[in-house]
A and B are shown apart, each in its own frame.
Chain A
């Protein structure tokens, strides 16, 4: 089979199940077998999605959620990589901070929302802080892992070339940790979206989370389901994009690895 045909077949296969469910759902709703407040008809949800075409609360919500998710993700990535290098390179720091980091990592991010509201209010700064607190861990842990698995031969070469500590990190350690860091970044983007919605629901900081809370208080179920669909699409697309980046990073890394082995 030609690759294009195979891709087409895969697409049909993977979309058949959701399509069947949506059609059955619509038929059940049309026959009034299910309560439209609990499970609004897919066509009504589609109509609610139409709000995205023009300016309004839903489009504002989408913009705020995506902005916060991306900004928080970048911050969490920066903090995670720097902290990961420190923990990964220094056994002393690793030992000293280990239990504290384990405690912070095990703390559910939602419970710090009431505390953060006291300091930062209910705005976007609070939301960013929640995202960083929740999304920093995958980057940190993967950076530590990547830093520690740097080829010992390369490190010895760096030492014999008398590279400074910073130069060793920038030229040797970081490049070989990139594949691992990219995996961490992908996981942490998904968590950033979740944490953004947590902050928006608990702290009313705007965004799709707050949109859902308002829609619920007016029992506008199609609006809630439409927001859920949008959130699912954001998560699906951003994960897919980063998976492409991950594949590219891994391919380049294996090329670098081959050169490294030749040296």
Chain B
């Protein structure tokens, strides 16, 4: 394949899809399915008035807070589960049960407790995002080479030293995968919590646009939130590869 078409093709598909959206939406003429040339002005208007920015900042701030919280709790819990055998045995069933409760189902309970507040968003998102960190840290720590731990004993590092200098670094790739997953989950759950009831942020704007029958705005928010998700995913992957270049899959094999 020539080099130009190889790079053009992936970019072409979104353009083709947008063009198809324009054509079909115009042909149908439904209010509920506005073409891109009506969604784009709505997007600009939201951008100019600042609505989009303030709500994006709110949503992202809660996402980051939930991510950091779930990261700290998850790594600590994962360390305990991975290093201490009885803790693993005693918590296994609880973890397997709790992590399958759909986080959205918790939103009504947490709203009863914390009201329609940022705390509600934070708690639900952190609950949802903590599981991949716990599970990946736990399995990463459990797979640390036992000989490495013996080296630590020989060097008299002490328990905190062994964890900090040997266990955490060798479990880092697994922890990074867990943190990457938990960032994606944080965004999903924060936006969903805002849609279900917390009157703030992008999710709330999306639902109230829908209730106000401003479908141009609905589509603008959907595309914008989708792009935010993509941006976070790409950033997380890029950071992971930057920090751990040895984890990059070897191209030479192919």
What residues make up the interface of A, taking CB atoms closer than 8 Å to B? 10, 13-18, 37-38, 92, 95-100, 102-115, 117-119, 190, 193-194, 197-198, 201-202, 208-209, 212-213, 215-216, 219, 221, 224-225, 227-228, 231-236, 239-240
Q: Does A108 lie within 8 Å of B14, measured CB to CB?
A: no
Given known pairs A37-B112, A106-B232, A235-B101, the reply for A202 and B89 (CB within 8 Å) is no
Given known pairs A13-B89, A13-B90, the reply for A232 and B10 (CB within 8 Å) is no
Q: Does B210 lie within 8 Å of A38, measured CB to CB?
A: no
Chain A binder among B40-48, B71-79, B215-223: B215-223
- B151 CB–A CB distance under 8 Å: no
Q: Does B222 lie within 8 Å of A111, measured CB to CB?
A: yes
Cα A57 to Cα B78 in complex, Å, equals 39
Pick the residue among A16, A231, A239 that contacts B105 (CB under 8 A): A231
Cα A209 to Cα B180 in complex, Å, equals 28
Contact residues in A for B229 (Cβ distance below 8 Å): 106-108
Pick the residue among B33, B92, B104, B113 that contacts A197 (CB under 8 A): B104
Which residues 54-113 in B have Cβ within 8 Å of A in the complex? 86, 89-94, 96-109, 111-113
Interface of chain B: mostly helix, strand, loop or mixed: helix
Contact residues in B for A119 (Cβ distance below 8 Å): 32-33
Pick the residue among A114, A190, A234 that contacts B210 (CB under 8 A): A114
Nearest-neighbor residue (CB-CB) of B232 within chain A: A106
Q: Does A201 lie within 8 Å of B112, measured CB to CB?
A: no
Q: Does B191 lie within 8 Å of A194, measured CB to CB?
A: no
Looking at the assembled complex, report how far the CB atom of B226 sits from the nearest CB atom of chain A, in whole angstroms: 4
Contact residues in B for A213 (Cβ distance below 8 Å): 108
- B188 CB–A CB distance under 8 Å: yes
Contact residues in B for A117 (Cβ distance below 8 Å): 210
Nearest-neighbor residue (CB-CB) of B92 within chain A: A14
- B196 CB–A CB distance under 8 Å: yes
Nearest 9 CB-CB pairings of A with B: A235-B100, A106-B229, A107-B226, A14-B93, A216-B108, A118-B32, A110-B192, A108-B188, A106-B230
Looking at the assembled complex, report how far the CB atom of B112 sits from the nearest CB atom of chain A, in whole angstroms: 6
Cα A202 to Cα B195 in complex, Å, equals 8
Contact residues in A for B232 (Cβ distance below 8 Å): 106
Given known pairs A224-B109, A228-B109, the reply for A108 and B191 (CB within 8 Å) is yes
> How many positions in chain B have a CB within 8 Å of any CB in the partner chain?
59
Q: Does B112 lie within 8 Å of A103, measured CB to CB?
A: no
What are 24 sample pairs from A and B whose C-beta atoms fall under 8 A apart? A14-B89, A14-B93, A18-B94, A38-B113, A92-B1, A92-B9, A99-B14, A102-B230, A103-B14, A108-B187, A108-B192, A110-B191, A111-B221, A111-B226, A115-B222, A194-B102, A198-B102, A201-B104, A201-B108, A216-B111, A219-B112, A228-B106, A233-B97, A235-B102
- B149 CB–A CB distance under 8 Å: no
What residues make up the interface of B, taking CB atoms closer than 8 Å to A? 1, 6, 9-14, 17, 32-33, 86, 89-94, 96-109, 111-113, 184, 187-188, 191-192, 195-196, 203, 206-207, 210, 215, 218-219, 221-222, 225-227, 229-230, 232-234
Interface contact tally, CB-CB below 8 A: 164
Q: Does B225 lie within 8 Å of A108, measured CB to CB?
A: yes
Pick the residue among B86, B94, B97, B184 that contacts A106 (CB under 8 A): B184
Contact residues in B for A103 (Cβ distance below 8 Å): 14, 226-227, 230
Contact residues in B for A13 (Cβ distance below 8 Å): 86, 89-90
Contact residues in A for B222 (Cβ distance below 8 Å): 107, 111-112, 115
Given known pairs A99-B13, A110-B195, the reply for A118 and B105 (CB within 8 Å) is no
Q: Does B112 lie within 8 Å of A216, measured CB to CB?
A: yes
Cα A118 to Cα B94 in complex, Å, equals 40
Cα A99 to Cα B15 in complex, Å, equals 12
Pick the residue among B12, B91, B103, B215 that contacts A17 (CB under 8 A): B91
Looking at the assembled complex, report how far the CB atom of A239 sits from the nearest CB atom of chain B, in whole angstroms: 6
Contact residues in A for B113 (Cβ distance below 8 Å): 38
Q: Does B207 lie within 8 Å of A15, measured CB to CB?
A: no
Given known pairs A221-B112, A239-B96, the reply for A111 and B103 (CB within 8 Å) is no
Pick the residue among B14, B92, B108, B215 that contacts A212 (CB under 8 A): B108
Cα A108 to Cα B186 in complex, Å, equals 10
Nearest-neighbor residue (CB-CB) of A39 within chain B: B113
Contact residues in B for A104 (Cβ distance below 8 Å): 226
Cα A112 to Cα B203 in complex, Å, equals 11
Pick the residue among B89, B97, B188 that contacts A110 (CB under 8 A): B188
Cα A221 to Cα B112 in complex, Å, equals 9
Contact residues in A for B13 (Cβ distance below 8 Å): 96-97, 99-100
Q: Does A15 lie within 8 Å of B196, measured CB to CB?
A: no
Nearest-neighbor residue (CB-CB) of B93 within chain A: A14
Looking at the assembled complex, report how far the CB atom of B31 sits from the nearest CB atom of chain A, in whole angstroms: 9
